[in-house]
Amino acid sequence: MSDQPQVVITDSSVVKLPRGVRLRRDPVRNHMVLLAPERAMALDDIAVVIVQALDGVKSVDVLSQEFSEKFHAPKDQIAQDIKAFLTELSNRRMLEIVQ
């Protein structure tokens, strides 16, 4: 079996949710949930904001800048958090890398 290159999420990465991974409100448990094959992850407010911003157009860098202004937080810290979260999603095959 050949070794596959692992995806590395960088500031220039552009990503979106692939088909088969979707965010919805769970009215019974009253939270937002990210659904994937055999997986249901309850997301906190910050994770929801990140997932909703994944449009397959804006890069991680652009998103970090926007969140930095919106939430008055240091951009570097936000970029770190986003990359860690997206790497987690990517390892679980819950992310499509557009670029």
Residue ranges in contact with another protein by CB under 8 A:
1, 3-4, 6-7, 18-22, 24, 26, 28-29, 33, 35, 37-38, 40, 90-93
30-53: b or e for each residue (b if 16 or more CB lie within 10 Å)? eebbbebeeeebebeeebbebbee
CB of 49 to another protein, least distance (A): 21
CB of 96 to another protein, least distance (A): 10
Q: Which is nearer to another protein, 64 or 90 (CB)?
A: 90
Would you state the structure tokens that stand for residue 2, as one six-digit string? 């050949």
Would you state the structure tokens that stand for residue 5, as one six-digit string? 């290159």
Q: Which is nearer to another protein, 33 or 53 (CB)?
A: 33
Q: Give whole-number Cα distances, 5 to 12, 60, 80, 91, in Å.
A: 18, 20, 22, 12
Q: Which is nearer to another protein, 15 or 78 (CB)?
A: 15
